[in-house]
Structure 1
Amino acid sequence: MYGGDILRGHSRMRKVPAPEVSADRGLVVEDAGTGYCGAVVGFERTYDGDFVRLEDGARTTRLFALREAAFLIDGRRVTLVRPKPAPAAAAQTRSASGSTKVEGLRARTARASRIWVEGVHDAALVESVWGHDLRVEGVVVEHLEGLDNLGERLADFGPGPGRRVGVLVDHLVTGSKESKLTRSLGEHVLVTGHPFIDVWEAVKPAAVGIAAWPKIPRGEDWKTGICRELGWGTPREGWRRVYSSVSSFRDLEAPLIGAVEQLVDFVTE
């Protein structure tokens, strides 16, 4: 007696299913019917179905129908299928500062409180990294055009409850001129800063493609000296390099990040 279903026929007569293989660009296959061997270079869709275009070593191309078990890879029959489309890139959910990005942001009325920075370069870097957060909170950043103007600006502004001022200072270290100019300014003013001579130096060297920021002799204009040592031309050209190298908080040194975060918290309390 025979075991199983005799109507199914002998196992050698059964059709073995050919595995499906994604026809990724560059995949080398052989057409089982003609022996033509070539790399996948594209696809075409006609009234007669889908076709794959193969290119051989002589750079000639031919079209072959995408049919079941119609191709060979390493001598084994396969069924070529069109590659699946790449998944859509996930929407960016983090801002340049690392905070959660608010989609569909609408400008809100500016707060009375302000953040002041020493110069235009400081303001540009703060905007580049924290701009989204500041727009969410309605905080305006203004530059002082030099710390020597701080006392006069505070007198004109009149800090008070709901009208705070956060001040970001370069080279804020014990005993410096900057530390002396920012003492005892009242409870509605917060001064934070970083230890670097200039805000350029608060950008990580790796971000601008250098091993370290050069040491510039005391008394020499720092930006001019930096550009000379690094072969960057003028300070204006140097600034373009520095600014274009910053895309997120990861390109900045920790003291600057901490100083700005403190100010944002202070003026939005």
Structure 2
Amino acid sequence: MRQYSPDLTPPWKKPQPVPEVPAEPGLVVEEPGTGYCGAVIRCEAGTVTLEDRFGKHRVFPLEPRGFLLEGRVVTLVRPPAAGPARPARTASGSVAVPGARARVARAGRIYVEGRHDAELVEKVWGDDLRVEGVVVEYLEGVDDLPSIVAEFAPGPDARLGVLVDHLVPGTKEWRIAQSVTSEHALVVGHPYIDIWEAVKPASLGIAGWPRVPHGQDWKTGVCRALGWPSENTGAVWQAILKRVGSYKDLEPELLGRVEELIDFVTDSGGA
């Protein structure tokens, strides 16, 4: 006598196995019972929290076959435990030092040409500079650099580094830099007319920095060419600065020069 299985469900009606998908943050799924669609915010023991496009949160149980992913039934599961965390990085790309206190300021200093330069250096290299105890000040131009360097009197225990805009051979800035450079005073620069140009255009959503006719104020000309408010270049700069998240938003010609100055001022000769 033939033995029949007590399960008389036709094969095509039997539940088919479905994939298990880790509920990683950002994964967008739908709970079919309610039609609620949202991105995973967190996944805890037995539950998952979703956020819809209006920012509202809702908690659902982690049940087998409980969600739709791109129209397909899936089972959400808790993501595997994270492995060893990668070292945190500062905005400059250096390995962050958790809990590090700011070092007592060195006698050495880094001078930059203007306030905007100082703010950009602080935004990207601030954490590094505090760990190293390096203070950044600004000059408001380079015309008075010779007298400033003379008054500072750089030496083995008090090195001076200076960052200059538009440091191109043959220019006024280049001649001034040459006149003050010494064993304990280093003047470097980038080729840009203004520090604004050291920010990558792609980071600001523009095709490139416009050319401004000679004799016209560069910042004003740039704002007019790009349709930015030219009557308040300070506010425009603050908007630019907000788009700078790390060294990746800056041109290599600036990155190398700032790193060079930090190395020079923090060298054993200036400790």
Q: TM-score, normalised by structure 2?
A: 0.73
2:150 is aligned with 1:146: no
Q: Structure 2: how far apart are the matches of 1:222 and 1:64?
A: 59
Instruction: Show the counterpart of 1:242.
Output: 240
8 Å Cα contact 1:202/1:253 also seen in 2: yes
CA distance in 2, matches of 1:12, 1:208: 68
Using the alignment, how far apart are the partners of 1:65 and 1:196 within structure 2? 56
Give aligned-pair identity as a percent.
51
Code of the aligned partner of 1:251: D
Q: Secondary structure at the match of 1:166?
A: strand
Q: Could you say which residue in structure 2 is the equivalent of 1:26?
A: 30
Residue by residue over 1:45-103, the C-alpha shift from the partner in whole angstroms, topping out at 9 and shown as x without a partner, is xxxxx899xxxxxxxxxx99958xx9899xxxx9x966426867957611111111111
Q: Does 1:215 align with 2:211?
A: yes
Q: How many pairs align? A: 230
Q: What's the counterpart of residue 255 of structure 1?
A: 253
Give the CA RMSD over aligned residues: 3.6
**Whole-Å separation in 1 of the counterparts to 2:114 and 2:62:** 66
Distance in 1 of aligned mates of 2:66 and 2:263 = 64
Decide whether aligned partners of structure 1 residues 71 and 84 sit closer, same or farther in structure 2, where only a CA change above 3 A counts. closer
TM-score by length of 1: 0.73
CA displacement at 1:112 relative to structure 2: 0.8
Contact 1:93 1:101 in 2 (8 A): yes
Structure 1, unaligned runs of 5 or more: 1-9, 29-36, 43-49, 53-62
Say if 2:101 is the partner of 1:101.
no
Q: 1:164 to 1:40 in 2, by over 3 A?
A: same
Corresponding residue for residue 201 of structure 2: 205
CA drift of 1:20 comes to: 7.3
Letter in 1 for 2:131: V
Please state how far the C-alpha of 1:12 moved relative to its aligned partner.
2.8
Distance 1:130 1:149 in 2: 26
For 2:220 and 2:93, the matched residues in 1 are separated by 33
What SS class does the counterpart of residue 5 from structure 2 fall into?
Answer: helix
In structure 1, distance between residues paired with 2:119 and 2:66: 59
Rounded to whole Å, the distance in 2 between the matches of 1:260 and 1:146 is: 18
5+ long unaligned stretches in structure 2 = 8-13, 24-28, 39-45, 49-59
Q: Residues 208 and 241 of structure 1 are in contact (CA less than 8 Å); yes or no, is this contact kept in structure 2?
A: no
**Deviation at residue 148 of structure 1 after TM alignment:** 1.0
